[in-house]
Amino acid sequence: MDNQTVSRRNFLKTSAVTGAVFSLGFYWPGNAKSAKVINAAEANKFGVEMNSWVHIDASGKVTIFDHRAEMGQGSYQAVPQIVAEELEVNLNEINVVFAQGDAKKYGNQVTGGSSTVRGSYKNLLKLSATAREMLIQAAAKKWNVPKLECYAEGGDVIHKPSGKKLHYGQLVEAASKLEAPKDVVLKKRSEYKLIGKPLRRLDTPLKTNGVAVFGLDKQIPGMMYAAVERNPRLRGKVKSFDDSKTRLIPGVKNVFKVKMGVFNTYREGVAVVADSTWAAIQGKKALKVEWDDTGFEHLDTEEIYKRQAEALQTQEGLPFKKQGEPNEVIAKASKKIDVIYETPYQYHAAMEPLNCVAHYQDDKLEIWGPIQAPEWVQDYISKEMSIPKEKVIVNMTFLGGGFGRKAFMDYPHEASVISKEIKAPVQVVWTREDDATQGPFRPGITYRCEGVIKDGGIDAFKVKLAGQNNNHWRGGKKDVPNGSASEGFLKPYTESIKNLAIMDIPFETPIPTMWWRSVYASTNGFAFESFLDELAHEAGKDPLDFRRVYLKEERLQKLIDKVEEVSGWKSRAKGAGYGVAITECFSSTVAQVVKVSKAPGGGVKVDKVWAVMDCGWYVNPDTIKAQIEGSIVMALGAATIHQVKFKDGMAVDNNFSTYQMPRINDIPPIDIHIMDNDEDAGGVGEPGLPPFAPALTNAIFDLTGKRIRKLPFNLGMV
């Protein structure tokens, strides 16, 4: 091949011959330095199926299927770490394979809501222990000894009295034919060899030499590339387009109108199919499209927030939670706090822009991509394109970040439609500009917080929110309050504050919105926890002590003690500002303390962050720490650097040049602690995000007396 010119066409031909090298990179040996590639059709290579997660071949090689997306949060590590524990195999000797979307085999595979571990660990522990018991039983039978004299370790079954040993590969055939025991005994936490240990991630070596296959790296023989010029307003249509310049670009093969399903509507665009990504992008740039943008409003950011603010003054909203007589107490009070908090729209900005490979053939469709929700994609496309569900095969690659945006069906649907049109496999590549401007975005919510302090305590507490409800886009009822109206706010407050109201004012715009890491907790956390800080100051109480009064549960008291201890709260440095915030989402509670000081060049700087997470039972403490570090960095960006602004109904900033991200020189030291207890597992990927912004602004108040009620703000201008 060295002496031959590798043109694009030649390359495609050669890669068809050596297809395996480039295709189907969904199978990776767990700790290998380079990847082997095995086709989905060759799945029997994994040996005998003990259950949907565990296959063992005759040599004893154990393959564990990761049924969840790996988008950085660590499912590729956590799922095998759980399975290997009860299965009694060494983690560094196994294969890990991404499972295909298959709800019948794996149940819920939607990687969202911080649910990978908490949603499946009990099942995984049980089915792994069951497989182990069957392997032990098969050995006992073979040796004709009592099962109780045998035990499993490191992929072997050992007969304790004689020292006889058989590896799982020698037993799996017989074991798989045994009846599964009903009530296996699971290990106690104290007996764990793997779970709870900060083991190195199995996918790290794949990510230090370019071997990991992300969606954008996926190639299949004969694959074309496509870029799509989409209407920048979701509800707009294509009126007409001129592709004369596009068709002059070498490599451009086809141009046509295309639409993809987004919620209950379709986004329209013009697809350019070419033989390289570059040609497709150039072709897209050369298009002249006339849009039809009639029939809906084209809003500016200012108008959205003006309407939200007006609604908060003129409307009472729908009660999400109401108890006691908050309105009466507020009306009668001689002094009350009545303040507005404002949070911006945000963009997910995963480093890997959206993309998807689709191959439509006669009666079946196969998809490969960075996909958070394979079964949703399967369901949606099956219905939209009238293909039986079992004929829609959805493969997950590694995801270059997701943060919620990749738990959606629009981009796989669009790729499938294009593949069907051109009758060839295609990779649809979103440019960063496409990714940044199309949404759906995190909605920006405005809050009106009213409160009364009496005798050093909360006499009335009322929060109204106005902002888009993601559920409305998915056909949710409009006469009920947003079910996430208090997401992030600790539930015990709603029990210990007598006069309390949380009200939601339904609000809509034509701008599409969806979940963004930690969803409504990411904005609610700021409003509720800042407001609590205001109430604490009004009451003349220490902000941490003030919270302690309302959070009586022992588990929360321990969390507060811990954050107080590790942050040195009681001996806070003079000349610095300290702020605290505590939020809960996806069954985990996180307390954070932020320390700030005056920056030499003006404004303030963040000196340090302390975070304590109570997520109950957990798998890998180092993964948890990484998730909290990442959550804090993402929260820092959303609080102090970036926001999505709209003009004339379109997102303004389209790339990192104007939508700046936090960078290495922006990041303070972060000190993380995890609570140890025997509670059920909670989420890990998101709960670290919401408390950061309020802890930061509470700290700034402590330092400067200035209360920041609008995000994002510029640290240098405080």
Partner 1 sequence: MKQNNKAGKGKLFSVQAAAAPAAAFLTILIFIVSVGASAFRKDDAPVKEIRLIAINRDSVESVKAFETVYKVLMSPRCMNCHPAGDIPLQGDDSHLHAMAPKRGVEGKGVYAMKCSNCHQDTNTPGLHTPPGNPEWHLPPAAMKMVFQGKSPHELARQLIDKKQNGNKDIKKLIEHADDGLVLAGWNPGEGRTLPPVSHADFKKAWLTWIKKGAYAPKK
Partner 2 sequence: MTKITLNINKKEYPLEADPQMPLLWAIRDLAGLKGTKYGCGVAQCGACVVHLNGEAVRSCVTKVSRAVGKQVVTIEGLSETNSHPVQKAWQDIDVPQCGYCHSGQIMSAVVLLREKPDPTDQDIDDAMAGNICRCGTYLRIRAAIHLAAETQKKTAPQG
Helix (H) or strand (E) holding 466: strand 457-466
Residue 277 contact among partner 2, partner 1, none, beta carbon within 5 to 8 Å by kind: partner 2
For residue 97, which of 151, 139, 40 has the smallest C-alpha distance? 40
Residue 560 contact among partner 2, partner 1, none, beta carbon within 5 to 8 Å by kind: none
> Is residue 537 a contact residue for partner 2 (CB under 8 A)?
no
Please, what is the minimum distance in Å from the beta carbon of residue 710 to partner 1? 16
Please, what is the minimum distance in Å from the beta carbon of residue 358 to partner 1? 28
> Is residue 4 a contact residue for partner 2 (CB under 8 A)?
yes
> Is residue 79 a contact residue for partner 2 (CB under 8 A)?
no
Helix/strand/coil for 480: coil
> Is residue 657 a contact residue for partner 1 (CB under 8 A)?
yes
Tell me which stretch binds partner 2 (CB under 8 A): 287-295, 504-512, 569-577, 665-673: 665-673
> Is residue 18 a contact residue for partner 1 (CB under 8 A)?
no
Site for partner 2 in 296-355 (CB under 8 A): 349-353
> Is residue 669 a contact residue for partner 1 (CB under 8 A)?
no
Tell me which stretch binds partner 2 (CB under 8 A): 65-73, 100-108, 552-560, 690-698: 65-73
* Residue 481 near residue 319 (C-beta atoms within 8 A): yes
> Starting at the edge strand that comes first in sequence, how are the strands of the sheet with 265-274 ordered?
252-262, 265-274, 224-230, 426-429, 355-361, 364-369, 392-396
Tell me how far apart the alpha carbons of residues 136 and 205 are, in angstroms, rounded to a whole number: 33
Residue 319 contact among partner 1, partner 2, none, beta carbon within 5 to 8 Å by kind: none
> Is residue 33 a contact residue for partner 2 (CB under 8 A)?
yes
Residue 715 contact among partner 1, partner 2, none, beta carbon within 5 to 8 Å by kind: partner 1
Tell me which stretch binds partner 2 (CB under 8 A): 66-74, 94-102, 542-550, 569-577: 66-74
Nearer to partner 1, 18 or 658 (CB): 658
Nearer to partner 2, 166 or 349 (CB): 349
Residue 361 contact among partner 2, partner 1, none, beta carbon within 5 to 8 Å by kind: none
For residue 597, which of 577, 581, 579 has the smallest C-alpha distance? 577
* Residue 393 near residue 366 (C-beta atoms within 8 A): yes
Phi-psi region of 74 (alpha: psi -120 to 50; beta: other; left: phi over 0): left
For partner 2, the binding residue among 102, 133, 203, 243 (CB under 8 A) is 203
Angle at 635 between CA 632 and CA 636, to 5 degrees: 85
The burial of 481, by beta-carbon neighbours within 10 Å (0-12 exposed, 13-18 middle, 19 or more buried), is given as: buried
Please, what is the minimum distance in Å from the beta carbon of residue 278 to partner 2? 4
Helix/strand/coil for 367: strand
Helix/strand/coil for 610: strand
Beta strands 426-429 and 224-230, pairing class: parallel
Helix (H) or strand (E) holding 434: helix 432-437
Give CA separation, 605 vs 431, 438, 598, 628, in Å. Answer: 34, 33, 6, 20
Give CA separation, 373 vs 67, 76, 501, in Å. Answer: 10, 15, 35
Tell me how far apart the alpha carbons of residues 95 and 64 are, in angstroms, rounded to a whole number: 6
Please, what is the minimum distance in Å from the beta carbon of residue 695 to partner 2? 16
> Is residue 441 a contact residue for partner 2 (CB under 8 A)?
no
Angle at 42 between CA 38 and CA 48, to 5 degrees: 110
Site for partner 2 in 128-157 (CB under 8 A): none
Structure tokens given for 390 = 């079992």
Tell me which stretch binds partner 1 (CB under 8 A): 163-171, 406-414, 701-709, 710-718: 710-718
Residue 250 contact among partner 1, partner 2, none, beta carbon within 5 to 8 Å by kind: partner 2
> Is residue 640 a contact residue for partner 1 (CB under 8 A)?
yes
| Binding-site size, partner 1 (CB under 8 A) | 18
CA 373 from chain centre, in angstroms, equals 11
Helix/strand/coil for 578: strand
> Is residue 716 a contact residue for partner 1 (CB under 8 A)?
yes
Tell me which stretch binds partner 2 (CB under 8 A): 87-95, 212-220, 570-578, 700-708: 212-220
Nearer to partner 2, 102 or 275 (CB): 275
Beta strands 588-598 and 392-396, pairing class: unpaired
Site for partner 1 in 599-618 (CB under 8 A): 601-603, 605
For residue 373, which of 110, 105, 114 has the smallest C-alpha distance? 110
Please, what is the minimum distance in Å from the beta carbon of residue 599 to partner 1? 8
For partner 2, the binding residue among 28, 53, 106, 214 (CB under 8 A) is 214
Please, what is the minimum distance in Å from the beta carbon of residue 205 to partner 2? 6
> Is residue 665 a contact residue for partner 1 (CB under 8 A)?
yes
| Residue appearing with tokens 């340090």 | 608
- Give the residues lining the site for partner 1 (CB under 8 A): 601-603, 605, 640-641, 655-658, 660, 663, 665-666, 714-717
